[in-house]
Amino acid sequence: MELKPYQAGVIRDLDRYLAYIQETHRYDVAYNHYWRDQVGDYDPLTGTGMRPYQNNIPGTPHVCVKVPTAGGKTFIAVNALRTLFDAYATDRPKAVVWLVPWSNLLDQTVRNLSSPAHPYRQKLNNLFNHRVAVYQKKDLLQGANFSPAVVQQQLSIFVLSFGSLRATRKEDRKIFEENGALATFAGQYESDQHLLADTDQTALINVIRSLTPVVVVDESHNAESELSVEMLRNLNPSFVLDLTATPKKNANIVSFVPAIALKKEHMVKLPVIAYNHHDKTQVVESALNLQRQLEHLAKAEHKAGGRYIRPIVLFQAQPKTGDDNTTFEKLKAQLLKLNIPAEQIKIKTATINELAGVDLMSPKCPVRYIITVNALKEGWDCPFAYILASLADRSSAVDIEQILGRVLRQPYVMRHTNDLLNVSYVLTASAKFNETLQSIIRGLESAGFSRNDYRVGEAQQTDSPYKPVPQVMQQDLSPEATEPVSDDIEPDRIHFDPTAPLEEAGIPSLSPALASITQLAVAKNQAFDQQIRQQETSDPLLLLPELGDKVKTFAIKEDYAALAQMLSLPQFYLSVPAIGLFGEGERVVLNQEVLLKGFKLAEEDIKIDWDTVDSELYKIDLEHTQGNQYRPVFLQIDNIQVKEVFVDYILSKPKAGQVKDLAHRLMQQIGDMYPIPDAQIRLYLERILSSFDTERVKDLLAREYTYRDKIKKKIRALADQYAEEQFKKELIVGRITVEAGFTFRKAIVPGTLGKSLGKSLYEREGSMNGFEERVISELAALPNVVFWHRNLERSKGFAINGFKSNHYPDFVLYTQKGTIIVLETKGDDRDNSDSAAKNRLGRTWAERAGKNYKYFMVFETKRLDDTHTIAEVKDLVGRL
C-alpha cells in the first residue's frame, strides 16, 4: 500500500515544517515562516495570512493535519512517524503514544497496527525494519515484553484512550500508581526532572514521560478541553501530531487536504444526492428499490470483471421516546413484513450491536440494511454503505450530520463504470427540507468537507419553495405539505419485491421518484467530474475553503491578460506504446521516475570522498530545559561523543553483523528516496559499509549525519546521471517530444512578496534575493521586454521536466519579437554539479522547443561553461 499523491503531499508539508524548525531553531517561529512563505505575512486587520502559532503545549511542537473523512488519516500518520523520527537523533528511543477517543476506535487501531496482514502494519514493518511493537494499556501495566532494552531497539506504539489518561475513573488511576512490573525503568533515569508531581517513578505515566514520546492524537477535535490539554502535557511529548477532519480554532494546521483531492483519487462517493419525499413510506420504498438497482449495476460490473460490491442502506431511525415514533425495533418489524430475509437486516445502536464479528465486505455476507440511530456517527464506516435513509419525525431537527460521513468512503478506492456507483445518497421526508439540507451540510462539514467544494444542484421542479443549497445535489419532490400525512410506514403502499432476480431489477420498473434520483445522480456526478478537471489548473491553496480570504491572490495585469492567456510554454512528453495489438499509444508528461526504470543502484560505484566534512550540518534533538519541559534544539553533527559501550557493542560483532546493523541505522536516516527502492539502497549501503575498516566505522558512528548526507548526495548524483543517459537515448529515437504544456494562471498566490518592479506580469510577484532582484531589474528596463514573471516553485509554476526533477527556473520573460526567455540565476554558493545538469537540461529544452524559446543561466561571479554574467545576458536579451 503506497501513499496517494495528496497523502504524500501531507508528508512533504510536515517535512518542510521540520526543515523550518531546523532553520529557525524555534517551532513557533518556524510555523509562522512556513505559512508566510506560502500565503504571505499575517495581517490582523485584514485577516490575510495564516494566524500565528498557538502555543497550546509550551515547550512542544504541536501541529495538525486536516484530512476529510475517508482520506486515510491513519495511513498518513503511519508514514509521518518515519518523517518525524528521521528528524531526531537516532540514539533516542522511538516511542509513540497513539491516542483515540473511543473504545471501538481503540480496538480497531490496535488490530490494524498489529495484524501482519494489514497494510498499516506492513508499512510500519517496511519503514522500521520489522522492529515494531504495539502495546495496549494492560500490556504496559504488566510490563509484557516492555523493558528499557526492548524499547531502545524498536518502534514502540502505545495505543491508549483519552479516558485512560484523563483518569476520571478509579480503574484508570493505575497508570499513575506505583508499578513493580516497571521497576527496571527506574534505574535508567539520569535525573528526576521528568517525574510527574506526586507520582512514583515506576508509575507507567512516568515511564512514558521518560521516553519523551511522539504523540499522535486521532480525531483530535475531541481533545480540546482543558482536561485534554493537561492530558497531553502529562505525557511530556517531544512532538504532538493532531489528525482530524475538523480542526478547532486553536489548531496549528500544517497541511490541508481538499475534498477534490479525495474525489480525484476515488476515495469518496461525491457528490451527495439529497432527495426529499412526501412521507416515510416513500423514503423506505425509494431506499429499497435504489439499493436493488445499485446492486443490479454492481453485479453486472462484477460479472464484466469488476470488483464485488453489495450496496447497503443505513436507515436512521428515531430514538425511543414516549411517542410512537419509528424506532429501530418497529422499523425492523415493518421491513420483515415486506418479506426481506431477517439475515439481511442488522441493528446497531448504543445497546444492540448485531454487527459484532460481521465482515460486511465479504461476498458471503447477506447484510443489505443496517438500522441505527446515531451509534455509527464516528469510528465506523463501510465502503458498501451507499444510501442514508433518514426516518426522523417531520417536525424534528434531522441529525443527519451525525452519521453522514459513514456513507462517503468509495469501495476499493477506484472509479466504477456506472456513475450511480460513484456517488452517495441521502433520502428524507422532511416538511422543512431546507433545514434538512443544512443538516446535510453540517454533516459534510463534520466529515471535513465544505460547501465550497461542490456546485449547486438546481431543483428540477420550478414550483419548489426551496432555494438550491451549495455542496449537495438536491431534488425536492415535496413542497410544504398542506394535508396531514401519516408518519407511520405503511408496508402495503410499498412496491418492492425482494425475491425478484437482480437481473430483472432495473430501469424499466423504476418509480417516478427513483427515476428522478438516478437521473439527478448521473447528471450531477458528471458535472462534478468536469468541475474537478477545471480546478486542476488552479493554485492548490485556492482549493482550500478553510483558508478563505486568508490567501492573498494577485491577478495578471489587465495590459497583459489577453497576451498571456494565449501563451503556452513547452514541456517534454514521452510516447507510451499501446497495450496489446489494438489502440493507439498516448503521450504523458515526462518525469525522472520513468527514466529511472532499469536503474540498479546496488550495482553502481561506491567511490565517495570521506575526508571532506561539512561541519555545518544540524539535527533536531531534545534537551532538558527549565520548568521540566523539553524543546527541540539543534546539535552540530560533527564531533558528537559516542558512548564507548555502544561502539564496542558494534565492533564486537562479526563483520557481517556490523554491516547489517549499520546499514539499518543509515536506512533510518536516509529515509525515502522514491522512486529508488529501499531494497536497492540497502544493498548499496552494505557494499559501502563492507569496505570500511575499524577506524572508518568509529568515524561513521561519531558523524552519522555527515555520512548520511554524503551517501544521499552520491545516490542522487548516480540517479541523475542514469536518467540523463536514458533521456538522451529517448530523444534520439524520438520517444521524447516537446509540446505545449504550461499556461499562466489567471491569478497566483506568491506568498512572501518581492519588491514592486515595472513590467511584472502579475499585480505582485514572489520574493527575490538581492542578486535575483538586480538581474530582473536590469532586464526589465530593456525596451524590448514586454513583461517578466517570477516563476513559482512546488507545482505552482513552470518546471522544465526531464532527467532533473523539480527544475523551476527563476524567471520567465517575453519580448516584443515574441521570444520567451527562461532565466535561472545562480549565486556563488551553489553546487556546480547540480547547476551544470540544470543548464544542460535547460539548453536542451530551448533547442527542442524552437527558435522562439531561449534558456539562460546567469552567475554572479563564478560561472560554468555555456552560462552568462549579467552583462552578457543583458546584451543577448536586448537583441531578442
Q: What is the pLDDT of residue 765?
A: 94
pLDDT at 3 over 70: yes
Q: Average pLDDT in the 468-483 region?
A: 41
Does pLDDT of 831 surpass 60? no
Q: Which residue has the cell 528526576?
A: 192
Q: What's the grid cell of residue 119?
A: 497494510
> Helix or strand or coil: residue 348?
strand
For residues 532-545, average pLDDT: 67
Residues whose CB is less than 8 angstroms from the CB of residue 112 and which lie 6 or more positions away in sequence, other chains included: 74, 118, 120, 121
Mean pLDDT of 188-211: 85
Is the pLDDT at 340 greater than 80, yes or no? yes
Contacts of 512 (CB under 8 A, 6+ apart): none
* 400 or 223, higher pLDDT: 223
Contact 215, 235 (CB under 8 A): yes
DSSP-derived secondary structure letter, 456: P
Alpha helical stretches, state H, 194-351: 204-210, 226-234, 259-264, 280-303, 328-337
The 10s digit of each residue's pLDDT in 258-289 is: 877 888 888 888 888 888 887 888 889 999 99
Report the C-alpha gap between 880 and 871 in whole angstroms: 15
pLDDT tens digits, one per residue of 657-676: 889 888 988 887 787 787 88
CB neighbour list of residue 102: distance below 8 Å, 6 or more residues apart: 161, 378, 379
Helix, strand, or coil here: 813? strand
Starting from the edge strand earliest in sequence, which strands make up the sheet with 94-100, in order? 132-135, 155-161, 94-100, 214-218, 239-244, 62-66, 253-256
Q: How many CB atoms lie within 10 A of CB 671?
A: 18
CB 834 within 8 A of CB 807: no
Tell me, what's the pLDDT at 222?
Answer: 77
How many residues in the chain?
880
Q: How far apart are CA 415 and CA 423, in angstroms?
A: 10
Could you give the domains of the chain?
59-258 (3.40.50), 271-535 (3.40.50.300), 601-722 (no CATH), 743-878 (3.40.1350)
pLDDT over 80 at 5, yes or no: yes
Q: Rounded to a whole number, what is the largest CA-CA distance in the chain?
A: 93
Percentage with pLDDT > 70 across the chain:
81
Quote the pLDDT of residue 348.
87
Chain mean pLDDT for the chain? 82
CB 567 within 8 A of CB 647: no
Instruction: Report which residue type is found at 546.
Output: E
| Range with lowest mean pLDDT among 247-251, 275-279, 399-403, 774-778 | 399-403
How far from 837 is each of 168, 176, 841, CA to CA, in Å? 62, 59, 6
- Cβ neighbors of 418 (< 8 A, separation 6 or more) are 297, 301
For residue 356, give the amino acid letter. Answer: A
Residue with cell 506504539: 157
Q: Which of 42, 160, 172, 185 is nearest to 109 (CA)?
A: 160
Question: For the residues 776-801, what does the mean pLDDT come to?
Answer: 92
Instruction: List, as one string, the DSSP characters of 461-493.
Output: -TT--S---TTEEEEE--PSP-S----S--GGG
325 falls in which pLDDT band (50, 70, 90)? low
Q: Residue 371's closest CA among 394, 353, 397? A: 353
Please compute the mean of the pLDDT values over residues 66-81 and round it to a whole number: 91
Main-chain dihedrals φ then ψ at residue 346, nearest 5 degrees? -130, 150
- Determine the number of helices (DSSP H) and then strands (DSSP E) in the chain: 26, 25
Task: Give the CA radius of gyration of the chain.
Answer: 31
Distance CA 383, CA 381 (A): 7
For residues 753 and 632, which has the higher predicted lDDT (pLDDT)? 753
What's the pLDDT at 435? 64
pLDDT in tens, 837-871: 999 999 999 999 999 999 999 998 777 888 999 99
Higher pLDDT, 141 or 487: 141
Share of the chain above pLDDT 90, in %: 36
Give the pLDDT mean for 28-33. Answer: 93
Provide the whole-model pTM.
0.80
Phi, psi of 425 (to 5 degrees): -130, 140
Query: Alpha carbon of 656 to those of 651, 679, 684, 685, 687: distances in Å?
Result: 11, 17, 14, 13, 11
Looking at residue 734, what DSSP letter applies?
T
Q: Please enumerate in sequence order all residues whose Cβ is within 8 A of that of 832, keeping only pairs 6 or more positions apart, or say none.
A: 864
CA–CA distances in Å: residue 244 to residues 219, 316, 406, 407, 447 = 5, 25, 15, 18, 9
Read off the C-alpha cell for 101. Answer: 477517543
What string of DSSP letters covers 419-434? GGGGSEEEEE--SSHH
Helix-strand-coil percent breakdown of the chain, rounded to 5?
A: 40, 15, 40
Distance in angstroms (rounded) separating the CA atoms of residues 523 and 297: 17
Instruction: Say if residue 712 is exposed, middle or buried (CB neighbours under 10 Å; 0-12, 13-18, 19+).
Output: middle
**Residue scoring higher pLDDT (345 or 270):** 345
Instruction: Using the predicted structure, report yes or no on whether residue 635 has a pLDDT greater than 70.
Output: no
d(C-alpha 230, C-alpha 150), whole Å: 29
Confidence of residue 529 (pLDDT cuts 50, 70, 90): confident
Q: How confident is the model at residue 191 (pLDDT cuts 50, 70, 90)?
A: confident
